[in-house]
Amino acid sequence: MRNFAYQRAGSVDAAVAAHSGQSSSFVAGGTTLLDLVKLDVMQPERIVDVRSLPLYDVERLDDGRLKVGAMVTNTDLAHHPIVTENYRVLSEALLAGASTSLRNKATTGGNVMQRVRCPYFRDGVSACNKREPGSGCAAIGGLNRSVHAVLGTSDQCIASHPSDMCVAMAAIGATVLVSGPNGEREIDFLDFHLLPGDSPDKEHALEADELITHVVLDAPMEGNRSHYLKLRDRASYQFALASSGVVIATEGGTIRDARIALGGVGTKPWRATEAEQSLIGKPANEASFQHAAELAFKEATAYEHNAFKIPLGQQAIVRSLTTVTA
């Protein structure tokens, strides 16, 4: 670990001001940053600690939305009564992630900023366009079974987005509130994470020195049931091979509204909108679910070792929909 300057911010404005400069990082739970700093993959010269900022409230807004402070821990959010009652998919996704001790440290804002688990990114040596733009992508043609995507990939990067929480938020619908040198602004959650395209080093829509202050969840879908299903090799403490977060409302056996988001298979938290659309007005049965699952992976590209993620992701969709409509 290289030495760095450390500063604890007393306010959002102070944090933003302190962050100015290219090699600064905000730290909250530190579960991604400290890991990568110790591996020498990230080398910030200045770390601005935002952990004590007053951003740990969970607040229901008048319009029915839920405003979650960026410093709310994964554990607290997962067990918050409004979340367990109205956003079950989010609670389940959070509890499927990492381990208890990590969830106690990890924050809502930090989890949105979680970085990929691609070993070629993390080893500090291999070709990686995310770490060293223009160096290539060792994952293509390499060992790409577990933490690599089949949706949203490019010939520059195929790393899957690791977050479970973000998959649930993509399904629910959300807005990211950020604060920066030019004041506050809102970013639609689905626009927050960027596809790798030709610039995999650019991972999100934040501009220089902007800090996430809140994530605002859309008002719960009326009459919804929701569920997060995470498939992996071992039963806990592993990133998803494929996961499905679904929110669905039915009337008399017919699907009125549906949201499907996928994890482990996409380069960003993946909303399967065409699959969702195919369900509306259809009977809530296996044929409908199977058809939706196929649509969700219509554009998928398999790599050397991860072709199984396409049928596995489809299974995640079918089973999660079956479970919530049973």
Partner 1 sequence: MSDDKHGKIIGASRSRIDGPKKLRGDAPYAADHHLPNMAYAYGVFSTVANGRITGIDVSEARTLPGVIDIFHHDHFPNLYRTPSTFAQENKVDETRLPFEDAKVHYPGQFVALVVADTFSNARDAAYRVRVDYEEDEPVATLAQAMESGEPTPHAASGHTRGDPDSAWNDAPHRIESTYITPMETHNPMEMHASTAYWDKGDLVLYEASQGVVFARNVMAKVFGIPPERVDVRSPFIGSGFGSKLWIWPHAVAAAAAAREVGRPVQLVVPREEMFTTTGHRPPTHQTLRLATDANGKLQALSHDGINTTSMVNTYIEKTGSCTKSLYACPNLRVSHATLPANHGTPTSMRAPGAAPGLFALESAMDEMAESIDMDPLEFRRANYTETDESLDLPFSSIHLMEAFDRGAEKFGWSKRTPEPGSMRDGDEIIGWGMAACNWEALKMDCDARVSLRADGTAFASCATQDIGTGTYTIVAQAVSDITGLPLERIEVELGDSSYPSGPVSGGSWATATTLPAIAQAARNAIDALKTYATGDGGAFSGSEADTLTFADGTLSDGNGKSVDYAEVLNQLKLANADGEAHTPAATNDEYSFRSFGAHFVEIRWDPGISNLRVSRVVSAIDVGQVINQTTAANQVEGAIAMGIGMALFENTEYDSRSGRPVNNNYAEYLVPVHADQPEEVDVILLDHPDYAFNEFGARGIGEIGITGLAAAVANAVYHATGKRIRELPITLDKLMVT
- Which residues contribute to the site for partner 1 (CB under 8 A)? 1-3, 40, 117, 119-120, 123, 125-126, 138, 141-143, 145-147, 229, 231, 233-239, 241, 307-308, 311-312, 315-316, 318-319
Name 67's bridge partners.
59, 216
Q: Using DSSP bridges, classify how beta strands 5-8 and 46-49 pair: parallel, antiparallel or unpaired.
A: parallel
Cβ at position 236, least distance to partner 1 in Å:
4
Cβ at position 232, least distance to partner 1 in Å:
9
Tokens of 107: 């924050």
Cβ at position 176, least distance to partner 1 in Å:
26
Cβ at position 42, least distance to partner 1 in Å:
12
**Smaller CB separation from partner 1, 3 or 22:** 3
C-alpha angle 207-188-298 in degrees, rounded to nearest 5 = 110
**Smaller CB separation from partner 1, 238 or 273:** 238
**Phi/psi of residue 162, nearest 5 degrees:** -85, -15
Cβ at position 144, least distance to partner 1 in Å:
10
In 39-154, alpha helices (H): 74-79, 81-86, 88-96, 100-105, 108-112, 119-122
C-alpha angle 77-83-89 in degrees, rounded to nearest 5 = 100
Identify the CA nearest to 53 among candidates 80, 18, 20, 15: 15
Cβ at position 219, least distance to partner 1 in Å:
31
**Smaller CB separation from partner 1, 151 or 312:** 312
Distance, CA of 152 to CA of 166 (rounded, Å):
16
Cβ at position 2, least distance to partner 1 in Å:
5
**Smaller CB separation from partner 1, 124 or 197:** 124
C-alpha angle 137-115-110 in degrees, rounded to nearest 5 = 165
Tokens of 84: 């367990």
Question: Is residue 302 exposed (0-12), middle (13-18) or buried (19+ Cβ within 10 Å)?
Answer: middle
**Smaller CB separation from partner 1, 127 or 280:** 127
**Smaller CB separation from partner 1, 121 or 270:** 121
**Smaller CB separation from partner 1, 6 or 237:** 237
